[in-house]
Amino acid sequence: MNRQKFTEKFLAAFFILVIIKVIGILAQLFHESFWSVIGTLVIFIVVAFIIFVVLMQLEKKEKEKNTGTKGGKGGGNFYLEASVFDKIRNKYEELALKYIGEKDYKRAAKVYMNLMKDYYRGAKTLENGGFYNEAAVIYLKKLKNRSEAAHCYEKARQYKKAIDLYEELGQKEKVGDLYLQMNDRHQANTYYQMVVDDYVTNNQMVKGSLIYRKKWKCPMKLRKSCSKAGKKTVMHLIA
């Protein structure tokens, strides 16, 4: 298969994929809003047009080369394939950066995720644009990154969702901090006590005392309910 034939076959396959993709996008009308689907369709059409232009330019160049020289072999095909995909990816990148420059972070994220299959950059773009809930969903469902998802939920002030994830991650002090954000001092102190107990168990008394010094704000009469190890730390501070 020479270079020109590869380009022609790639064009044919590209048109088939475009048709299938358009049908798939339109099918989303059954479970997504009309304007969301139209937005996705517009992005895809723009990108498809860019790719078509790139492919036509490559085909033209190959025809010009074939009229002047004949006999390019094996390695040339690999170079052409790499060149085609690099150009397409670069166009995707340019389009995403264009949308970011226009502060259209959702469209930029769609380019990264739907066209480049780069879910991390898609999620990070949504996060940078202030779409924290949407970014958290991508981090959680596509990337299985509970830490980043919790961080985004925290930014979105979805504290309960963030707390659930931080609990799974074993970040008790962070859970306590978020309960403080929710003005739930009792629950915050409960988790701070867990942190102190862990420090005391590991003979890290100084770290445990710092939790009491910086974060424990409950009245002295409530400290009687602390664990035995916690009491020792409190007495150390009082002394």
Q: What pLDDT does 163 receive?
A: 98
Distance (Å, rounded) from C-alpha 154 to C-alpha 24?
34
Percentage of the chain surpassing pLDDT 90?
42
In a domain, 196, yes or no: no
Per residue in 91-113, pLDDT tens? 889 999 999 999 999 999 999 99
pLDDT digit string, tens, across residues 135-147? 999 999 999 999 9
Q: pTM of the full predicted structure? A: 0.64
In a domain, 216, yes or no: no
For residues 227-239, one letter each, b for 16 or more C-beta atoms within 10 angstroms of the residue's C-beta and e for the rest, the string is eebbeebbeeeee
Total domain count for the chain?
A: 1
pLDDT at 229 over 60: no
Confidence check: pLDDT of 185 > 60: yes
Phi, psi dihedral angles at 32 (to 5 degrees): -130, 165
The answer to whether position 191 is within a domain reads no
169 and 146 in contact (C-beta within 8 Å)? yes
pLDDT digits (tens, 9 = 90+) for 145-182: 999 999 999 999 999 999 999 999 999 999 999 999 99
Q: What is the amino acid identity at position 87?
A: K
Neighbours of 14 (CB within 10 A): 16
pLDDT at residue number 207: 87
Binned at pLDDT 50, 70 and 90, residue 239 comes out as very low
Is the residue at 76 inside a domain?
A: yes
Residue 40: which pLDDT band, with cuts at 50, 70 and 90?
confident
101 within a domain of the structure (yes/no)? yes
pLDDT number for residue 63: 65
Model confidence band, residue 126 (pLDDT cutoffs 50, 70, 90): very high
User: Around 147, how many Cα atoms within 13 Å sit in the side-chain half-sphere?
Assistant: 3
Please give the pLDDT value at position 238: 42
68 located within any domain:
yes
Could you tell me the residue range of the domain that residue 23 belongs to? 1-117
Task: Please check whether residue 58 lies inside any domain of the structure.
Answer: yes
- Let me know if residue 26 belongs to a domain: yes
